[in-house]
Amino acid sequence: MPGRRISKKKKSQKVALPDLSAKRRFQQRLLKWYGEYGRDLPWRKTSDPYHILVSEVMLQQTQVDRVIPKYREFLERYPSFEDLAEAPVADVKKTWYPLGYNVRPERLHGIACETVERYGGKLPSDAEELLSFKGIGRYTAGAIRSFAFNEDAPILDTNVIRVLHRVFVAEGDPKAQKPMLWELSEALIPPKKGYDFNQAIMDFGAMVCTARDPYCLLCPMKSFCKTYPFSPMERRP
């Protein structure tokens, strides 16, 4: 019929996962870089699930250098799930200041209360159980499993999204490609090296493959990165 508009459904982009050779090349270069340049952070010196949880919640939308002193202060004030659960929420929020986003200390307090009540003060390692907590999403659950329980669990934060999308995808909106990027994140983890790999890719995104003005000339991935050389005019992630 004249004038009738025919709607076209957008096809979701499918990106082939890298082959074994490409995976190994990325893994080896990333882990080598991490061994030389990885950051010395206090939460990397513990596998305590409570400490890992506190660090991950604090790091949400907050720069590392602001988190470090508050992380130490918070754990000194509330050294365990039990201590945090017993504290009044108002006091927890005061200790949290000035990190901002005050829903975070409230959620952390709620997680502590639930951990004490349901699990005797020991955070579970099971993915589904972790996701049942209000305030623990897929990324935080993966980080806890990886950094506290040494499991090969994938993570996908802003830095990881940026690195994976630039190196392996290059096209489309990364926010609309999260299911594929989760799959890619999981596929790239070397067996039994989830802890180092996940820490490495976050550091790499924060220090080399930055949002603006990435250090492309010094990047160990430049020989196969799909966005090399990065052009800020293209507004890539």
- Which residues are catalytic, by number? 56
Are 146 and 198 within 8 A, CB to CB? yes
**Comparing C-alpha atoms, which of 156, 53, 67 is closest to residue 108?**
53
**Comparing C-alpha atoms, which of 142, 162, 136 is closest to residue 214?**
162
Length of the chain equals 237
**Comparing C-alpha atoms, which of 30, 34, 71 is closest to residue 51?**
71
Q: How far apart, in whole angstroms, are the C-alpha atoms of residue 82 and residue 132?
A: 19
Listing DSSP states for 166-180 in one string gives IIII-SS-GGGGHHH
Radius of gyration of the chain (CA): 20
Q: How far apart, in whole angstroms, are the C-alpha atoms of residue 202 and residue 134?
A: 24
C-alpha of 36 from chain center: 21
Tell me if residue 127 falls in helix, strand or coil: helix
Burial of 178 (0-12, 13-18, 19+ CB in 10 A): middle
